Structure 1
Amino acid sequence: MRRRALLGLIAALLVVLGASPSWAAPIAVRHAEGVTHGFLVVRSPAGDVIAEGDLLQVVRPEGVESRLVFRFRDGSTYEETALFSQQRVFTLLGYKLRQKGPSFPMEMDVSLSREGEKGRYQVRSRQAREDEQPASGEVDLPADVYSGMLTMLVKNVAKGATETVQVLAFTPKPMLVQVEIAPVGEEPVTAGERRVAATHYVLTPKLGLVRGTIARIIGKNPPPYHCWIVTGDVPAFVNIDGPLYGGGPIWRVETVSPRPPARR
């Protein structure tokens, strides 16, 4: 209980002391999203497969729904859903996150819905051997908030450009965090027997002076994410390295292809 109280106090300080973020312009749509079914795996830092997953996108009347689902081999589950519009610019309309099981230190069930420039959220969280902690309320939701959409945005960054967006981090209460998306060069990747060029992007959380100082004190300064995208007229996601939750290990999420049955 003492640890949870300390984390709650720190989260409150982060929200209060960092409550004036600078808002950037929303990301323009260069490549529209549509119906998609991608197959994924999650690898540990040692390279072992620890989860299989799917990226499922469907087009609904209210917007595009993108759902990321991981099923871990230890029985844990992770599901993140973003609902967004893509009329000239990308706009987050709704967000859900569910994580539970031994791979995660905290069970969480998050829902967020946009109401103009505000977002209504509900959070249910529970750490091991503790009671569930519900939270709900209203939070600023500027046009450049893109929770659950970062890999989509990377495909829409102009060649050579650097963009800054925001995401809502739930601690479990929501906190706006800026993320800088910057290319650092091209690297070869393989597709079957072919070698193709992919652009390496670094996605760096920017906590600001006050938040960054507190994060360093408690050892919770978030690491950068590394993402590889095959660019060109039709971009393609390759993989992303980074934690799925605050303070978590660096896992690799990468694409895999279904294999056909053996020839008869």
Structure 2
Amino acid sequence: MSHSTPASGSSQHTVAGTVLTMPVQIRTADQHMAMFSVDADAAQRMIDYSGLRVYRHRPHRAIVVLMLMRYLDGDLGPYLEYGTNVMVNRPGSQEAGLRHLSSAGAFVHHLPVDGEFTLQAGRQIWGYPKVLADFTVREGRPFGFEVSIDGRLAVGMDFAPGLPVPSALTAKPQVQSTYSCLDGVLRETEGTMRLSGVRYRPGGVRIRLGDHPYANELAALGLPKRALLSSAVRNVQMTFADAKEIS
């Protein structure tokens, strides 16, 4: 990979012979997400390697988010991506409780994808822990998917349909910090997200775990269990800035 800053001031990365100009744009994607309250100590053990601390929305509880993203039109091409994200305190912050949850960041612990180019870009530019996986997606009610790595099931999820959320509540751009730790390097990436066609419901998800090590890690958090809430988003537009290394 090469990295340069052209005269315009926007940085560029060359990945597999393709030049990407930052920020990377995702023009069309959809998302299925479920949020779970899990034992905070178990979640902390899972991400201890990052040096970050889990965000405790209750004294002994942390939040883990499992999601499927289908990227349809973007600078990295079309691909599927599954993520296990743990809500964390920003470095130096000790906030806790539901009231300050919006200040937390998301630490990306698992990130299987089904494309070689996005794998290389994700690891090289942002330090995301992308690995190659096979995805099976079923449209309909319920919407469902499975992620398998090296022929072993990691996780499967089925989503019951939710209730539509008024677009006035979701149209405002959201800025989200994600953290990654690859090869011992902690990075922060700021992204902007705009959502439309959002549906939410309490619970609404069935999880299946396989025998891949990722599944064992999710089981150690107490999954499968009832979700706090689940959502489906018909269209997600996103931008990803350059990652910043955190010493």
TM-score (structure 2 length as normaliser): 0.26
Report the structure number with the largest CA radius of gyration: 1
- The higher-RCO structure (CA 8 Å, 6+ apart) is 2
